[in-house]
């Protein structure tokens, strides 16, 4: 069955704002402003994004619950914020305090729970090549089935990592990871950029009918990031899932606008 991606895409393209770094990296990624989920949700809700990626805690306490920008009364009498940007709940996650050579990211939220916060899609990281890969592909298999039954898309973060992967940025390994996403039934794979247009095109081809979005990475100069966006769109990606390069920018909305223009005018 073809899953409908229209709730998290616009004209078939996607721009997701990732805000799960508090779990993956800790608040070292944040400053006084972007440490506040409401501020980042306001960026996500600006109209430039087709989805916001959150862990369950922020999904429940900020996206689905009361806040100062509340607009009406919810079922329990509590005020409800009505964000327009579609919610994507990340179902697994880990901290970087555990220095595992072979990473494993456990499932911390179910598809049903994600749906209860209003999720329009769910996400899951598989560290392809990790000694724990089998546990993650197994968990992913169940999630994929549950999401398909619920009629929502699954996005797989396909990150080649672990002692079996000497270089996680090797284009061949990234293409392999993208292909595994297709094989496992991911509707979209979120993968690193390979570093050059030709090898990235092969990654997109390897993903077949599974759509490709590119991860952001740590903050880089704006023009370099925009250039990378142009290249990946040219190579056939449907868009980006970006966090730090937007909400760590001095003017997040200005950057978001430039990225969106490249994606939709491509
Ligand atoms: P960024 O654009 O900030 O890199 O976000 C993308 C993302 O995949 C997040 O969803 C996740 O928190 C983070 O990167 C994981 O980073 P890493 O595992 O490379 O430290």
Residue nearest atom 10 in ligand 1 by C-alpha distance? 18
Size (the chain), residues: 266
Q: In angstroms, rounded to a whole number, what is the distance separating the alpha carbons of residues 255 and 58?
A: 24
Q: What is the mean pLDDT of residues 237-264?
A: 98
Residue 218 reports pLDDT greater than 90 = yes
Q: In angstroms, rounded to a whole number, what is the distance separating the alpha carbons of residues 197 and 171?
A: 11
What's the 3-state SS for the chain?
A: CCCCCHHHCECCEEEEEECCHHHHCCHHHCCCCCCCHHHHHHHHCCCCCCEEEECHHHHHHHHCCCCCCCCEECCCCCEECCCCCCEEEECECCCCCCCCCCCCCCECCCHHHHHHCCEEEEEEEEEECCCCHHHHHHHHHHHHHHHHHHCCCEEEEEEECCCCCCCCCCHHHHHHHHHHHHHHCCCEEEECCCCCHHHHHHHHHHHCCCEEEEECCCCCCHHHHHHHHHHHHHCCCCEEEECHHHHCCCCHHHHHHHHHHHHHHC
Percent of the chain with pLDDT over 90: 92
Closest CA to 159 of 167, 148, 151: 167
Go through 36-59 and write b for each residue having 16 or more CB atoms within 10 A of its CB, e for each that does not.
Answer: ebeebbebbbbebbbbbbbbbebb
Q: Which two tokens mark 193? A: 């950029």
User: Pocket of ligand 1, candidates 20, 191, 222: which has the most ligand atoms within 8 Å of its Cβ, to mutate?
Assistant: 20
Q: In angstroms, rounded to a whole number, what is the distance separating the alpha carbons of residues 189 and 101?
A: 23
Residue 200 reports pLDDT greater than 60 = yes
Atom of ligand 1 nearest to the CA of 23: 12
Q: Are 106 and 137 in contact (CB under 8 A)?
A: no
pLDDT tier for residue 73 given thresholds of 50, 70 and 90? very low
pLDDT tier for residue 110 given thresholds of 50, 70 and 90? very high
Atom of ligand 1 nearest to the CA of 216: 2
Catalytic residues: 159, 190
pTM of model > 0.85: yes
- How much distance in Å is there from the Cα of 24 to the middle of ligand 1? 7
pLDDT tier for residue 66 given thresholds of 50, 70 and 90? low
């Amino acid at each position: 069955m073809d899953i409908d991606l229209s709730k998290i895409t616009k004209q078939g393209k996607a721009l997701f704002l990732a805000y799960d770094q508090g779990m993956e990296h800790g608040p070292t990624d944040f400053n006084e402003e972007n440490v506040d989920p409401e501020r980042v949700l306001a960026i996500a809700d600006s109209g430039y994004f087709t989805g916001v990626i959150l862990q369950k805690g922020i999904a429940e306490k900020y996206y689905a619950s009361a806040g100062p920008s509340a607009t009406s009364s919810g079922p329990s009498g509590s005020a409800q914020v009505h964000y327009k940007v579609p919610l994507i709940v990340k179902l697994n996650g880990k901290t970087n305090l555990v220095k595992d050579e072979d990473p494993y990211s456990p499932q911390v939220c179910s598809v049903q729970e994600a749906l209860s916060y209003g999720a329009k899609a769910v996400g899951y990281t598989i560290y392809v090549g990790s000694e724990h890969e089998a546990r993650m592909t197994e968990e992913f298999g169940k999630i994929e089935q549950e999401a398909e039954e619920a009629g929502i898309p699954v996005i797989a973060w396909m990150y080649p990592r672990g002692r079996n992967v000497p270089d996680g940025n090797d284009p061949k390994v990234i293409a392999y990871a993208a292909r595994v996403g297709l094989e496992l039934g991911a509707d979209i794979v979120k993968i690193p950029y390979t570093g050059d247009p030709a090898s990235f095109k092969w990654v997109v081809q390897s993903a077949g009918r599974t759509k490709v979005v590119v991860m952001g990475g740590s903050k880089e100069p704006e023009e370099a990031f925009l250039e990378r966006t142009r290249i990946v769109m040219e190579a056939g990606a449907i868009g980006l899932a970006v966090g730090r390069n937007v909400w760590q920018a001095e003017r997040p909305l200005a950057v978001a606008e430039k990225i969106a223009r490249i994606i939709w005018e491509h």
